[in-house]
Amino acid sequence: MSQENVARIAEEQNKDNLIAIWGISDIQPLIIGAITINKGDCFGFSGALANKELGLKSYHVLEPEIIAAIPQTIYAQEIMFIELSKDPSKLQMIFEIMRALRDSATLDKLMSKIENHDESSGPLMNEILKSVNPKFALPK
């Protein structure tokens, strides 16, 4: 159902003017979601986005370019304290991941990793993270 709604909206709208913005700060669902609405569901949820490339770009709401577009009064009253409560290193990691997932060449490389993933080389999500930045790994 959820994937169906996203697919329907993407088909109804001009994709050049349509983006996704995420509030989620958990790395794994963020990556899965951002890849799914761009390249299709390649993680086996068998939803409406399986093998369906919508090409939608994703941003996290706390990324600087999004924050810069929100009126300063709202930022100061509602967002700043949320931002300050987050681990700065995790936020930087999220921003780097989101930038990578918006870059077509990087995303194509990630898709190759996903399609050719061998479980013996470790969890897929860590493979994806290391492709973005060799220093990245999921928290244990």
Partner 1 sequence: MLKGKKIIIFGDGGEIGVESLKRWLEAADAEVVLGRQDCFS
Residue ranges that bind partner 1, judged by CB under 8 A: 2-3, 5-6, 9-10, 13-14, 17-26, 28-30, 32-33, 36-37, 41, 43, 45, 47, 56, 61, 65-66, 68-71, 74, 78-79, 82
Cα separation, 20 vs 111, whole angstroms: 19
Q: Determine the distance from the C-alpha atom of residue 15 to the mean position of all C-alpha atoms in its chain, rounded to a whole number.
A: 17
**Cβ 50 to partner 1 shortest distance, Å:** 11
Query: 63 and 20 in contact (C-beta within 8 Å)?
Result: no
Query: 37 and 3 in contact (C-beta within 8 Å)?
Result: no
Q: Closer CB to partner 1, residue 21 or residue 138?
A: 21
Q: Closer CB to partner 1, residue 14 or residue 116?
A: 14
